[in-house]
Structure 1
């Protein structure tokens, strides 16, 4: 098998390269307190798409810094008792996707909440000085400001706030709330379960936003991580602030949130992934202390992974 990263036995031992800020735990405790102080002002609006088997809603809530966040909410009809719910998170710069691709879960008796990340391809606001989308550059947003203003801090908090809303829905069984997503969606799945530990099961697929310095050192700051190279080229061309920059990125590095997870984990990784290098993903996986299992795809990269969705659904049904 060709390799783009470490041998598999080394990956299972790898603990990450990016520096961890000394006040990391205080940082996220302060962030959670800010989130909990927000009145979410939840609003449900019947969606333009409806089916005989499920009700579809546009769900809106207010996140930190006043942004109105949008999620698609689908709940099965004809189920009167509290039932499970799954939170779905999308890839970088994307959006919550079509209503139709959530119907498999609804047909199995799940409510589904699929969030639009603020400022990306969907309907959630980015209140960073403009109305409308900003689409790209979210990893580096806030690097030259106070760490509390990092944009991904706010997006991570949005996932936890949505989970809290789901847990309070009268139709949802709070003992069966799960999360799933791939790439950025995999990262947000980890963030959600770390910041809202009542998430009982999570299924991240090749998660993004892990171990930035390792990505840089592998010369893979391209594609989804291109903005790291752009930032250095424009704002620190001689890398005089390199340690400072990677330390600040450590606040939004999922490997350091991973040990807060309390739910059961099913994670998938492709060993030929040149978008989110396998070692960066293992850095997060190896720090998880909750029950966990890894599906390894030796010949696959950042792409469709055969059977991964089926495995996820079965994991949530078991």
Structure 2
């Protein structure tokens, strides 16, 4: 697929037409307050992996509704002092994987917490272990329309709340430095990182890679690739519901979280990306609230984005922050 979205000079000034709900902050304040009524109850169980340079802990903590959410905490072997902390969120359909996977961040001398995504972990990778015990109204197969009848019911309300609690859980371990916490993720994980960047005020850095879950009004009509296409297929059946669905989605739009970002940020976008079109990524980047921000642009890449090149860019960039 050749370039299909706006030219790069227009991307750099593009602004989303997504309408922010007037009660956006109140909605999320109430949601997180309700979640914190449950004890975090973060538990860290050491795992025997056969690795000599990294120690791994099987983590369980209370997320949305007090539901148990899984994760891995990876530490450089032999660490004795609190370490800078990277909390990572996973792409659509994936799970936390196996304990020996994803060793990059621990190999840089940081603590690395990878959150499982409730109800996912069956599409690729090493799997996941966190169910989603909450029911929902009729939805197109996938996650994009689960509970889309109302913001209170929407699937990503639970996921974003889990993610904020994941930061709290990771920070509770004695070998993590809460004052040096950064979040990252690619695709869906990047969208979750944006949400956390808007909801957790004291992060030192946010690094969303080709982020998903941004600028829903444009994404839903610009690309016919899944997962955004799930929205259109739902509306193909549920005729006349477009305004209601976009109203629900506006509470979860990365553009609105980005406007509340208070940490330095490094984004990435790929100009041939049909899964997360570059204009939707730039919509969040251009809205990001902290002046210290940058974006890596990969001219001829699809949703793989920068891949290992972006990882290398993140490692270099994070040296200044965490």
TM-score (norm 2): 0.90
Conserved 8 A contact 1:180-1:186: yes
Aligned to 1:166: 170
1:167-206 superposed matches below 5 A: 167-206=171-210
Aligned to 2:300: 299
| 1:157-197 superposed Cα distances (whole Å, 9 cap, x missing partner) | 11111111222322111221111111001111111222112
Q: C-alpha separation between the residues in 1 aligned to 2:39 and 2:275?
A: 37
Query: Closer, same or farther in 2 for the Cα pair 1:48/1:136, shift >3 Å?
Result: farther
Q: C-alpha separation between the residues in 2 aligned to 1:13 and 1:222?
A: 25
Range that drifts further, 96-105 or 268-277: 96-105
1:63-102 superposed matches below 5 A: 63-102=63-102
Query: Closer, same or farther in 2 for the Cα pair 1:135/1:192, shift >3 Å?
Result: farther
| 1:207-240 superposed Cα distances (whole Å, 9 cap, x missing partner) | 000111101222x14322121122112222xxx2
Q: C-alpha separation between the residues in 1 aligned to 2:298 and 2:163?
A: 27
Q: C-alpha separation between the residues in 1 aligned to 2:164 and 2:46?
A: 23
| 1:55-109 superposed Cα distances (whole Å, 9 cap, x missing partner) | 2111001111232100011112222221111111111011123433432322321
Conserved 8 A contact 1:271-1:297: yes
Aligned residues: 310
Query: Closer, same or farther in 2 for the Cα pair 1:159/1:39, shift >3 Å?
Result: same
Aligned to 1:5: 5
Q: C-alpha separation between the residues in 1 aligned to 2:258 and 2:82?
A: 29
Conserved 8 A contact 1:20-1:250: yes
Q: C-alpha separation between the residues in 1 aligned to 2:262 and 2:274?
A: 29
Q: C-alpha separation between the residues in 2 aligned to 1:124 and 1:215?
A: 28
Q: Are 1:142 and 2:143 an aligned pair?
A: no
TM-score (norm 1): 0.91
Aligned to 2:42: 42
Query: Closer, same or farther in 2 for the Cα pair 1:298/1:77, shift >3 Å?
Result: same
Aligned to 1:234: 237
Q: C-alpha separation between the residues in 1 aligned to 2:247 and 2:284?
A: 16
Q: C-alpha separation between the residues in 1 aligned to 2:106 and 2:97?
A: 15
Q: C-alpha separation between the residues in 2 aligned to 1:274 and 1:129?
A: 30
In structure 1, stretches of 5+ residues that fail to align are none
Specify the SS of the correspondent of 1:229.
Answer: helix
Superposed displacement of residue 203, structure 1: 1.1
Conserved 8 A contact 2:44-2:60: yes
Conserved 8 A contact 1:194-1:260: yes
Specify the SS of the correspondent of 2:234.
Answer: helix
Q: C-alpha separation between the residues in 2 aligned to 1:50 and 1:185?
A: 28
Query: Closer, same or farther in 2 for the Cα pair 1:317/1:161, shift >3 Å?
Result: same
Q: C-alpha separation between the residues in 2 aligned to 1:301 and 1:234?
A: 29
Q: C-alpha separation between the residues in 2 aligned to 1:135 and 1:316?
A: 39
